Amino acid sequence: MTAPTQRIAPAPIRKTLRVRASQEKAFRVFTANMGRWWLKSHSLLQAPQRDVLIEPRAGGRWYEIGEDGSEQDWGRVLAWDPPRRIVLAWQLNADWAYDPDFETIVEVTFTAEGEETIVAFEHRDLERYGERAEELRGGYESGMDGGWAALLEGFRGVAEKA
C-alpha cells in the first residue's frame, strides 16, 4: 500500500412512484412515449429535440432525434420485459458525451396494484463515473480537479435557475 485510493461510490438513485394508470399503459408511456415527457432541455443535440426513442427489444438503441433529423445515442436496452420491467444502459459519461465503453444502469419495474401501478426506478453503478474519470484523466487527483470544476459550473447554472 502506498497512497490510499479513494473512489467516488455514490448510492444508487432510487425513486418509487404510484401512477394512476394500468401497468400496460405506464410501461408504454415510459418506453414508447418517452419523447412526450422527457425534459426538452436535457438534450445533447444542437437542434431542438423532436423525440426520444427506445427500440423495443434487448440490444435496441436508446437515442434522441432532433427537429433536423440528427440522432444522438444515449445508450441501449439491456432487458425488455413488457409490461413489467425495462433495463437500460445510460452511456453518457461525466462530460455528458456518449461513450460506448461506459455504462450505468437504469432499471424500471412496473407493478400493478389495483387500477394503479407502482413504478420503481433505480439508476445505479454511479461509481463508474469516478472510475471512468480516473481512467480518462490519468489519476484521481487530476480527475478531481477537472471533474469537480466542470461539474460545479453546471451545478451553479442549475442552482441559479431553481
Partner 1 sequence: MANPFAALAEPIRAEIIERLAARPMAVGELAALLPVTRPAVSQHLKVLKEARLVRDRAEGTRRVYSIDPAGLGPIREWLDRHWDAALAAFAAEAEKEGQ
Chain residues in the site for partner 1 (CB under 8 A): 6-11, 13, 15, 17, 19-21, 25-26, 28-30, 33, 36-39, 42, 94, 117, 119, 121, 123, 126, 129-130, 144-145, 148-149, 151-152, 154-156, 158-160, 162
Which of helix, strand or coil describes residue 31? helix
20/57 with CB nearer partner 1: 20
Going through the chain in order, the beta strands assigned E by DSSP cover 13-19, 49-54, 61-66, 71-81, 85-90, 104-113, 116-124
76/93 with CB nearer partner 1: 93
The CA distance from 156 to 72, in Å, is 26
Contact call for residues 10 and 127 (beta carbons, < 8 A): yes
Task: Work out how close the CB of 71 gets to partner 1 at its nearest, in angstroms, rounded to a whole number.
Answer: 20
9/97 with CB nearer partner 1: 9
